[in-house]
Amino acid sequence: MPKAARPKKSKPSVSVIGSGRLGTALAIALSSSGYPIQAVVARRRTIARKAAALVSRHTLALKASELDLLPASRIVFLTTPDDEIANTAQRLADSQRISLKGSIVLHTSGALSSDVLEPLSAIGFQVGSLHPLVSVSDPRTGPTNLQGAFYCIEGDAAATRVARAIVRDLKGRSFSIYSSNKPLYHAAAVMASGHVVALFDLATEMLVQCGLDPGKARRVLRPLLESTVNNLLTSDPATALTGTFARGDLATVQRHLSAFGRHGLSVALNVYRALGVHALDLNKKNGVDPQILDKISKALESFPPLRK
């Protein structure tokens, strides 16, 4: 007689405190992966209701002042801004000493470790952090970005086990670092994401100085950025480096520096010089004449700073 198929194990229930872009996107992604989202919490009920409507008709919408009404979810995510996590953890501990005791609480900050959740740990919660290493700019498209992303995980043993299971359900990949290195880890994420956006905006401003309107400037730069990302997908940074610094074009660098001076672009000049120095370090691996690289380095160092 054939064995009966084992029933699928139900996923643990989840509540999300913080209904911004990441919190809402995470709630949607988890709901799509079979996790019942019992409640979402926001500063204002209207925001919570909008988030809940995107998740499930069964999801409760609560104000931040109603943490005492939070359902007894097995997993609670804190997706508030970093500066609010410690205070939220304390308020949650004060309001939920009994009904949620033993639950898993995970925050999604990249810069903070699970130590910030100590008020909850002290009364019996298992705590950790789960940070998606991906950009989420819109709660509707964010769930797609969260699927298959890398996630940085740390915290209590029980919390990290649950976090890894969540990542697997999102078809992502997880890794762990020492808690003390969270700020440096997050700074690296900012460099690779937020600072790239800021750099793109600087390049856009430079093309506007050349006479293009901002929309056209962004359109003509996007394929260049996309091709650079594609190069990085198949090569290490030294090999992916192209252009003036990769070739060691001293005269071109000098023309660039003069152009910054003529147009009074002090911020762009400082960024160009700092990244240029690092590009020269990368280029040492590519066999470019060291004397040429040294001349370019001196040109970057000796060019006078611009007054703002």
Percent of the chain with pLDDT over 70: 96
pLDDT at 275: 96
Helices marked H in 174-286: 182-192, 194-209, 214-234, 237-240, 244-247, 250-263, 266-283
pLDDT at 114: 96
pLDDT at 2: 53
Of 3.30.1330.10, 3.30.230.10, 3.40.50.720, 3.65.10.10, the CATH number of 14-180 is 3.40.50.720
The tens digit of pLDDT for each residue in 23-39 reads: 999 999 999 999 999 99
**Long-range contacts: 30-35, Cβ < 8 Å, 24+?**
30/166, 30/169, 30/170, 31/55, 31/56, 31/59, 32/143, 33/169, 33/170, 34/10, 34/169, 35/11, 35/75, 35/166, 35/169
Angle between helices 182-192 and 194-209 (to 10 degrees): 30
pLDDT at 308: 62
The tens digit of pLDDT for each residue in 135-150 reads: 998 888 899 999 999 9
Give the pTM.
Answer: 0.87
**Long-range contacts: 162-166, Cβ < 8 Å, 24+?**
162/12, 162/75, 162/104, 162/106, 162/126, 162/128, 163/106, 163/128, 163/129, 163/130, 166/30, 166/35, 166/75, 166/130
